[in-house]
Amino acid sequence: MDAIKQYMQPKWWLTGVGGLFTIFMLLTYAEIMNAAETGWGADYTANDAFYEKAWAATYLVIAIICVVSGQFVEGRSQAILAMTIGGGNILNFILVFLAAGDLEYGFTENPANWAPPMIMATGLLLSGYLHLEEE
């Protein structure tokens, strides 16, 4: 159990997940990664491209909160934040799936796109839970 706790430090999970989210969101926003094309294929619209960039900008808020929580918050407060962010990510994922319905949106249809963020969310949730009793 101690070994698991050692590897599941909320500080590093928050910093790592926040860092990865920041990179992916900046790549999406700059259209280096074409999220609209991944989502809908080559015939995406200007509105789709706008929404992908605006959505990435909102993800960037969460990425910033992750990095700041990992680097500038400690103890129980940090564990609570890791659990809240991880739990919120899972809830967000369920709602996006419900919203997508039968639209065949690329990011919800392909497990290769949604599995990594879910692993990160689970890691964050677990890291927070394991360190919840810290001072």
User: Count of residues binding other proteins (CB under 8 A)?
Assistant: 43
**Alpha-carbon gap, residue 23 to 29, rounded angstroms:** 10
Query: Does residue number 42 form part of the binding site for other proteins (CB under 8 A)?
Result: no
CA 56 from chain center: how many Å? 11
Any contact of residue 62 with other proteins (CB under 8 A)?
Answer: yes
74 interacts with other proteins by CB under 8 A: yes
Asked whether position 61 contacts other proteins by CB under 8 A, the answer is yes
127 scored as a contact of other proteins (CB under 8 A): no
78 scored as a contact of other proteins (CB under 8 A):
yes
Residue owning tokens 């999406």? 28
Contact predicate 74/32, CB 8 Å: no
Q: How far apart are CA 2 and CA 73, in angstroms?
A: 22
Rounded to whole angstroms, the Cα distance separating 125 from 86 reads: 5
Binding site for other proteins (CB under 8 A): 29, 40, 45-48, 50-51, 53-55, 57-62, 64-65, 68-69, 72-74, 77-78, 80-81, 84-85, 87-89, 91-92, 95-96, 98-101, 103, 105
